[in-house]
Structure 1
Amino acid sequence: MDTTIGRLQEIEPAALRYSTGPNWRRTPPIDDRASYEDVRRYVSAAFQQAGKRSEEHVASLKRIFSGSNTEAHFIIWEPPVTLAESKGKKATPDKRSLSESAITVTAMFYVALLAELQQRGYPVDVVELSNEPDGDWNIRIPPARYVKLVAETRRQAALHGVKLPRIAGPGVGRIASLGAYLADPQIAKALVRDIDHISVHAWDDRTNLDTLKEARNARQKLDRLGYQKPILVSELALTFLNPTDRDRGVGANLRAADAVSNQPAYAAKTLALTLGLAAAGYGPLMYWELNDQQWGKASYGLYSQRGDQRPILDAWRELSRLVRQTGRVDVVPLESNTIFGLTREGRMTAIVAVNPSPKPVGLLLSQDLRGYAASASDRPHRKLAECSGGASGTRVIDPNGIAIIEVR
């Protein structure tokens, strides 16, 4: 845990997502007709059973968030199985879907869980009530049922005097899936009204979709609904760099030495996607994930399971540092998908040039900008070499390279 805390302190993320408690799918079924007091005791008993592990987790989280400006985002992967759901099925069904009759007890569970976390001192600024409700790997929640669930959660919290953190949702697995939650005007209005932060996961490339195209489409739809806040991306990573990566078995969803996340191109393309999403009105953007999990099979982590740094780490850490130094920044595209400006209160603070190609590219700074650009250091991902034979002020960015130019 000390190693993880040190890594997080180096990155200083704007937001950090975590979960805690038991695997609720594997706890005893909960009665659909239970009272709030029954549900509150059910949740409390589960944490009491965890004993010292829960106390240690709270202490570690306090060390992470204390004295930092990092927001604590809590994810509830899924609620417990209900008695009605378990009848005639095995105790932990693999494919779940929230029924209409389970909305009230599920909302009670959410409120009881958040009350328990508050009582135990867990830091929670934002909560996602369900993980990827557009799929059934946790629990599928159709759009109409989802907005009812959010409204009922707010009603139960008011009824029982529980102060809720800000709610983010629906946290769909692909940005493209957000369209189903915005298709019906009444559902869309309820979503925008009752959710504090519209949230998505940017896994569109896993289904061969153009993530940035889907992001811009979703942004336009929300703009028309009057939702002007940034769209939260609570899971962000690339799985494939090329269409053939899936068949070759080198996607970042697999743990292999030749996985794409171990290649320099992964860093450049991931950063280009991140900045493109920010420029399209998305943020904060939370990278998936800090470390490869021991129990997992994927290679998305900034650090491998052995602790090796992946190519994306240095650039991600440097970009996070710049954002932290200047406070709230906006990202503007200066050249489509390759050159971005970081601005604060209308003033340029940095230029990020990304070369997601296997060939070097030249970058020509304007006469005005040359005088304001701070000298680039020789650290990886920031080096700008003189371009031999190029015009004065031209720099070359290495293949799959990233250049961050701070502006004085």
Structure 2
Amino acid sequence: MPNRRKPYLALLLCLSLDAYADPKPQVPEVRETIAIDTRQISHEFLGFGTQIWTTEFTPKGQQALTDLAIDYVRLSASPGLNTPDDPVPVDSSPEEMDRYISRQFAKNPTLLPKTKATFDFLDNRQIQTVMLIWTAPKVWQPKDNQLLPQYLDDYARVWGSTLNYLDSHGIRPALIELINEPEGHWGTYIPPDEYNTLVKLVRKEIDRRGFTQIGIVGPGVGGQAGKQWLSPLDNEARHAIQTWSTHIYESKQSTAAQTLSPFIAATHNMQPPKPVYVTEYSTKNTVFDDFATRANNDPAVAGLVKASYSDPYAVEVFQNTLALINGGANALFYWELGDHSWGINKDWGMIDRQGNPKPVYFALKTLYPRIPDHASVIQPQWQTHAITLSALKAQGKLIVAVANNTRAKVTATLKLSPPPPPGKLGYVSFEGGAATQKNTAQSGQNRQIEIKLNPQSTLTLDIPY
């Protein structure tokens, strides 16, 4: 009998060969000249952080924090408040709320030991913790997940009792974020005026409990919503907040820099001045210069085809990091350290569920450990076309980080003022899923520096200065 599969197999072979052919026209090389005046300082950059989950914080996750020189970690403070069989007490005494919180931790006997072990690991390495309670009890937000105002004081007592319980077991965070994204009806929505009230209530409650050294970071809204939640804060609430916080995700609608800008502008109108922590950042894009992936929270597909497993995603996250530093952020928390086994948002991590590094981990490893804490960010007065560039100064060196997330090769001449002294340049790049030396940097005439970047790659330079 004739083999009826041969034409089908031939078609498959042709399709396979076509898949490896690049249908895109060759992109001409881009040349840029960038003037960097290192005397113009914008702000101080304090360090990098990430989100972790104590129940899935493994030795490989610990090693990743060490390798990345992480300075801050954000993690959950709460055992969970949606307990219909044991409702959260209302108009209670602090002692009654204490007993409730203790019962909830007791229902999950592994939670406290894992939280304690995680906190001790972080504390021993001088990694600051930001703890948060994700949502208020569902029964307190019966319509569109909006927290009813009569429960604001109860929620403040929840915070006081939660910190009291954790502190009794040797866990005292540096900062707390009162609620996750109060602008969102997907969790707990708290209108701006009521958030103003909540900040003051929590500050009074935790001060009364003896936690005056624990700072409040807030409001933790998306950057575009920042002004609405900042402007209603009265003088007492402004002084009650130690650090401003926001969440930034690039999307098809706006870049990371565009999303952060309104929030930074709003903080400039607030007194006293405070640092700005971006307590979540990444990208929600799934198509990178026609390279298509699937969303990290897409439940219909397996991990390997999702965005966070791709090299272009890693380069875009690197680029967003630079854009947020340039835009005024004092600390950045990548969302998130590791993939986890529950929920729909489980594939955003730098490492997978087995602890294996993903491309974004290798990209950020070429950047995070190379920027010293408390580095001075150079005012980004330059204009670039194909690349994003940040420059920071600290400890006798200038760190210049560059991302090229285009299909073009880029050659750029860096003109530093004042010129750097003679010395050997150190550099490392990310390309093709790993740290490499494929991109180059070399000193040229008049002590200018010429750098070359391949498409979809990054470069981080250490310049003696």
Structure-2-length-normalised TM-score: 0.75
User: Taking structure 1 as reference, are residues 394 and 30 closer, same or farther at Cα in structure 2, changes over 3 Å only?
Assistant: closer
| Percent of paired sites with the same residue | 21
More relative contact order, 1 or 2 (CA 8 Å, 6+ apart): 2
- Identify which of 375, 387, 391 aligns with 1:329: 375
Matched, 1:376 2:427: yes
Corresponding position of 1:221: 266
Runs of 4+ in 1 over 6 A off after TM superposition: 243-246
1:291 counterpart SS class:
coil
2:195 counterpart SS class:
helix
Q: Tell me the distance in 2 between the aligned counterparts of 1:235 and 1:292.
A: 15
User: Taking structure 1 as reference, are residues 190 and 181 closer, same or farther at Cα in structure 2, changes over 3 Å only?
Assistant: farther
Higher strand share: 2
Corresponding position of 1:406: 462
Q: Tell me the distance in 1 between the aligned counterparts of 2:390 and 2:409.
A: 18
CA offsets 1:335-367 (integer angstroms, 9 cap, x no match): 54612111138x652111111111210122448
Structure-to-structure mapping, 1:231-246, within 5 angstroms: 231-242=276-287
Matched, 1:196 2:252: no
Structure-to-structure mapping, 1:20-99, within 5 angstroms: 20-26=77-83, 28-66=86-124, 68-81=125-138, 85=140, 95-99=144-148
| Structure 2 unaligned residues grouped into runs of 5+ | 1-57
Residue 152 (structure 1) shift: 0.9
Is the CA contact (8 Å cut-off) linking 2:78 and 2:162 kept in structure 1?
no
Residue 167 (structure 1) shift: 0.5
Amino acid aligned to 2:80: N
Matched, 1:112 2:161: yes
Which deviates the most, 136-145 or 55-64? 55-64
Is the CA contact (8 Å cut-off) linking 2:429 and 2:457 kept in structure 1?
no
Corresponding position of 2:20: none
- Identify which of 375, 383, 394 aligns with 1:344: 394
User: Taking structure 1 as reference, are residues 372 and 339 closer, same or farther at Cα in structure 2, changes over 3 Å only?
Assistant: farther
Is the CA contact (8 Å cut-off) linking 2:401 and 2:460 kept in structure 1?
yes
Matched, 1:293 2:340: yes
Structure-to-structure mapping, 1:92-241, within 5 angstroms: 95-163=144-212, 165-172=214-221, 174-184=222-232, 187=233, 189-203=235-249, 205=251, 208-241=253-286
Q: How many residues align?
A: 390
Residue 145 (structure 1) shift: 0.7
Amino acid aligned to 1:69: Q
Amino acid aligned to 2:349: G
Q: Tell me the distance in 2 between the aligned counterparts of 1:249 and 1:227.
A: 44
CA offsets 1:192-246 (integer angstroms, 9 cap, x no match): 322111111113527x233312312221221122353331111111010549999
Corresponding position of 1:250: 294
Q: Tell me the distance in 2 between the aligned counterparts of 1:181 and 1:378.
A: 39
Corresponding position of 2:365: 317
Q: Tell me the distance in 1 between the aligned counterparts of 2:123 and 2:245.
A: 22
2:340 counterpart SS class:
coil
Instruction: Let me know the Cα RMSD of the aligned residues.
Output: 3.0
User: Taking structure 1 as reference, are residues 16 and 225 closer, same or farther at Cα in structure 2, changes over 3 Å only?
Assistant: same
Residue 164 (structure 1) shift: 5.3
Q: Tell me the distance in 2 between the aligned counterparts of 1:51 and 1:263.
A: 38
Corresponding position of 1:89: none
2:351 counterpart SS class:
coil
Q: Tell me the distance in 2 between the aligned counterparts of 1:245 and 1:102.
A: 48
Q: Tell me the distance in 2 between the aligned counterparts of 1:44 and 1:245.
A: 52
Is the CA contact (8 Å cut-off) linking 1:235 and 1:286 kept in structure 2?
yes
1:117 counterpart SS class:
helix
Structure-1-length-normalised TM-score: 0.85
1:108 counterpart SS class:
helix
User: Taking structure 1 as reference, are residues 300 and 81 closer, same or farther at Cα in structure 2, changes over 3 Å only?
Assistant: closer
